[in-house]
Structure 1
Amino acid sequence: MANPKGDPVLVVGLGRYGSAVALELTRRGTEVLAIDSRPKLVESLAGQLAHVVTADATDPETLQQLNAQDFYRAVVAIGTNVEASVLVTSLLVDLGVDTIWAKAVTPQHGRILSRVGAHHVVFPEHDMGERTAHLVSGRMLDYVEIDENFAMIKTTPARDFVGIPLGESRLRSKFGVTVVAVKSSGEQFTYATAETVLTYDDTITVVGTIDDIERFTNWL
């Protein structure tokens, strides 16, 4: 089996989401083959992506000619054209691509992608909207949903938890959440321990169930 960490990634669809994925992978040193059917869009990215081609990825022969079957990982970033999204995902499954991420725009679209073989279904617009709502509504500096009912946030410590060791704050017994890392002003994040003493200038990362996180941030 191929080594996924060192292998290139196939990205199909170069809208806002697909372009962002392809460019970030390239920035991180991962080789990318990017495909889109719109010549002007491909041309606009030619100077930023080493391998970007204009092609119809819904054509199985085209995918084979581009050696899609040799990729360990692929991202299907087609969103608005649901039929094309599902067809490309299905073709990549048939070609034996080991791990496929596929963008969905609705829950029904996501269910279909899963049924045809997508290993990971993502909802970029929904996820970003949910994340923004959490940030707007409270004192959170960042919010990441790790699982269906588990999240991690970045925030600043409340007055009640400043100046005492975390082990004495009873944060977990009060709210069911755990401080896992702390960043002092001008420094990098480091793991939090029971002996960690927070200051007002600190930034902390906190994990817990979504209900407990919301209860905690509402209290903040």
Structure 2
Amino acid sequence: MKKQCVVIGLGRFGTSVCLELSRLGHDLLVIDHKEERVNAMREYAAHGATANATDENALRSLGVRNFEQAVVAIGDDIHASVLCTLLLKEIGVERVWVKARDPQHRRILERIGADRVIQPEYDMGIRIAQNLDSEKIIDYIEISEDYSIVELVATKKVDNRTLSQLNVRAKYHCMILAIKRGQEVNLAPKPEDKVQKNDMLVVMGHRKDLKRFEDRGL
């Protein structure tokens, strides 16, 4: 479904968000205080404006209240990031995603009502470290401080065994969300579905439980 999104701040992060949203076919308004950055996005965004995103009158005149979602990608200027986020929520933008520079910045944004806070460098660092830590982990997504989703490689130990036989939920308190085999993806697999060696298992659980499953179950 086509959505209307505002991207504020067209540095590397904001530009990447803008390009991908454009590729996905969404209607975009891009805002930056540098005209050359806005002009560079003209091909990808239906609307663009050179403006101060901490100016409430400017945001209102651009009609940001008519957009469903906003991404605030002003990562380096904490004051501008916080003020812009606060204004967007007060104006009535339904969902506001914000890039944070550090944990303190993140806490402030969460307290003023940001719907989702992203720390790209931190998040990517965690994913890389998890991949380096284990040859079985292909990808890693942090859901909260304690819970994650990981993509694990099925080993010979679980080859040709059904999910019922593996009994992952009872033994390890984890849930297998999907089984990927080549180009095929089995979403919400049934108890009688079998796992084969080299399948990719998408598993959700507490970090400690995921580690136990990785070490003992696979």
> Normalising by the residue count of structure 1, what TM-score does the alignment of the two structures yield?
0.88
Query: Are positions 1:202 and 2:206 aligned together?
Result: no
> What is aligned with 2:118?
122
Residue number among 98, 104, 115 corresponding to 2:100 in the alignment: 104
Query: What are the Cα deviations for residues 171-200 of structure 1, in whole angstroms up to 9, with x where unaligned?
Result: 334333232221223433343222122221
The residue type paired with residue 197 of structure 1 is K
For residues 22 and 167 of structure 2, the distance between their equivalents in structure 1, rounded to whole angstroms, comes to: 44
For residues 29 and 71 of structure 2, the distance between their equivalents in structure 1, rounded to whole angstroms, comes to: 10
Q: Report the 3-state secondary structure (helix = DSSP H, G, I; strand = E; otherwise coil) of the residue aligned with 1:46.
A: coil
Taking only aligned residues, the RMSD between alpha carbons, in angstroms, comes to 2.0
Q: Report the 3-state secondary structure (helix = DSSP H, G, I; strand = E; otherwise coil) of the residue aligned with 1:147.
A: coil
Q: Report the 3-state secondary structure (helix = DSSP H, G, I; strand = E; otherwise coil) of the residue aligned with 1:204.
A: strand
- Using a 3 Å threshold, how does the CA distance of structure 1 residues 204 and 35 change in structure 2: closer, same or farther? same
Structure 1 residue 92, shift from structure 2 partner: 1.5
Residue number among 175, 178, 189 corresponding to 1:178 in the alignment: 175
Structure 1 residue 209, shift from structure 2 partner: 1.0
Given that residues 10 and 73 in structure 1 are in contact (C-alpha distance below 8 angstroms), is that contact kept between their aligned partners in structure 2? yes
Query: Are positions 1:147 and 2:144 aligned together?
Result: yes
> What is aligned with 1:160?
157
For residues 212 and 110 of structure 1, the distance between their equivalents in structure 2, rounded to whole angstroms, comes to: 27
The residue type paired with residue 74 of structure 1 is A
Residue number among 64, 70, 81 corresponding to 2:66 in the alignment: 70
The residue type paired with residue 69 of structure 1 is R
Query: Are positions 1:28 and 2:20 aligned together?
Result: no
Question: How many pairs does the alignment contain?
Answer: 216
> What is aligned with 2:190?
193
For residues 208 and 108 of structure 1, the distance between their equivalents in structure 2, rounded to whole angstroms, comes to: 27
> Normalising by the residue count of structure 2, what TM-score does the alignment of the two structures yield?
0.88
Query: What are the Cα deviations for residues 97-144 of structure 1, in whole angstroms up to 9, with x where unaligned?
Result: 222121111121122222333222222221111111111211211111
**Unpaired stretches in structure 1, ≥5 consecutive residues:** none
For residues 100 and 94 of structure 1, the distance between their equivalents in structure 2, rounded to whole angstroms, comes to: 11
For residues 103 and 62 of structure 1, the distance between their equivalents in structure 2, rounded to whole angstroms, comes to: 21
Given that residues 185 and 201 in structure 1 are in contact (C-alpha distance below 8 angstroms), is that contact kept between their aligned partners in structure 2? no
Given that residues 2 and 25 in structure 2 are in contact (C-alpha distance below 8 angstroms), is that contact kept between their aligned partners in structure 1? no
- Using a 3 Å threshold, how does the CA distance of structure 1 residues 186 and 103 change in structure 2: closer, same or farther? closer
The residue type paired with residue 175 of structure 2 is T
More strand per residue: 2
Query: Are positions 1:44 and 2:46 aligned together?
Result: no
**Unpaired stretches in structure 2, ≥5 consecutive residues:** none
For residues 7 and 188 of structure 1, the distance between their equivalents in structure 2, rounded to whole angstroms, comes to: 27
Given that residues 175 and 215 in structure 1 are in contact (C-alpha distance below 8 angstroms), is that contact kept between their aligned partners in structure 2? yes
Percent of residue pairs bearing the same amino acid type: 37
Q: Report the 3-state secondary structure (helix = DSSP H, G, I; strand = E; otherwise coil) of the residue aligned with 1:58.
A: coil
Residue number among 7, 10, 20 corresponding to 2:6 in the alignment: 10
Structure 1 residue 7, shift from structure 2 partner: 4.3
Given that residues 85 and 96 in structure 2 are in contact (C-alpha distance below 8 angstroms), is that contact kept between their aligned partners in structure 1? yes
